[in-house]
Amino acid sequence: MVEINNLKKAFNSHIVLDDVSLSVEKGENLVVFGRSGTGKSVLLKCMVRLMEPDSGKIIIDGKDVLSLNIKELNELRKQIGFLFQSAALYDSMSVRQNLEFPLIRHFNFTPEEREQKVISVLEKVSLVEAIDKMPSELSGGMKKRIGLARSIITEPKLMLYDEPTTGLDPITSKEISYLILELQKSLNMTSVVVTHDLLCAEIIADRAIVLNEGKVQYQGSIPELTSSNDPFLKNFFSHEFIKENNQVN
């Protein structure tokens, strides 16, 4: 589903991604770990060309992302959902309008069909009662759920999550993680999840990679990585480190 080869991205002289290569199978959930500033979010943004990488290759669903023109890129983007760290709900629109936004622009649904879609996706995230609320009236966890609902309303093949549980309390964080897993299973999506939250990763991940110094330094299942004797991984997965990183972010 996703194949990334030798991806490089630098900001002036600061190299963020240095020869990153990875692949994600169809239906797989890949978790990307890494210290703050190691380019995890940059990696996600390069995948949808919100940022242009300096070199390398990104293949999504058989299409070479970096060689697509804007029309082709937008066609591909319709197949991809992106949950931003801040949920990025349009704050001048109600929840209903936020959810209808991609539907109005990309599909020819009747108003009734649109309403049905909105209700159905809100049911999936258990927030039907918030349909007419404005984003400013929602809590952090609710915003994340609505952001998730907006991302999946077009039934994308690939979901990209940028820190889906950051800033949430442990219970809400766990709920969001299970929700992501449930949606992934019911919609048969492929996911790439950037997170610092080990609990979230344990719930979601089929496989994980660890970015360090711009490279993919480790990969494997969560139990393999957490039980590794490698000093970096031992330090990285210690409870204190995770906690510290959650606080930083």
Question: Which residue, 72 or 230, is less far from other proteins as judged by CB?
Answer: 72
User: Does residue 221 contact residue 29 with C-beta atoms inside 8 Å?
Assistant: no
User: Does residue 35 contact residue 212 with C-beta atoms inside 8 Å?
Assistant: yes
Question: Which residue, 133 or 215, is less far from other proteins as judged by CB?
Answer: 133
Min separation Cβ 115 and other proteins, Å: 18
Residue 117 Cα distances to 76, 148, 218, angstroms? 21, 14, 40
The two three-digit tokens of residue 248, written as one number:
């930083």
Min separation Cβ 50 and other proteins, Å: 5
Question: Which residue, 48 or 200, is less far from other proteins as judged by CB?
Answer: 48
What's the CA gap between 214 and 20, in Å, rounded? 7
Cα diameter, the chain: 58
Nearest to 181 by CA among 152, 210, 211: 152
Question: Which residue, 50 or 232, is less far from other proteins as judged by CB?
Answer: 50
DSSP 206: S
Residues in contact with other proteins by the rule CB under 8 A: 45, 48, 50, 74-75, 77-78, 80, 82, 84-86, 88-92, 101-102, 105-106, 150, 154
| Residue keyed to tokens 């992934």 | 184
Question: Which residue, 165 or 210, is less far from other proteins as judged by CB?
Answer: 165
Question: How far is Cα of residue 43 from the mean position of the Cα atoms in its chain?
Answer: 11
Min separation Cβ 111 and other proteins, Å: 14
Min separation Cβ 74 and other proteins, Å: 4
The identity of residue 1, as a single letter, is M
What's the CA gap between 93 and 101, in Å, rounded? 9
Min separation Cβ 15 and other proteins, Å: 21
Question: Which residue, 82 or 236, is less far from other proteins as judged by CB?
Answer: 82
Min separation Cβ 134 and other proteins, Å: 14
Collapse the DSSP code of 228 into the 3-class scheme (helix H, G, I; strand E, B; otherwise coil) and give the result.
coil
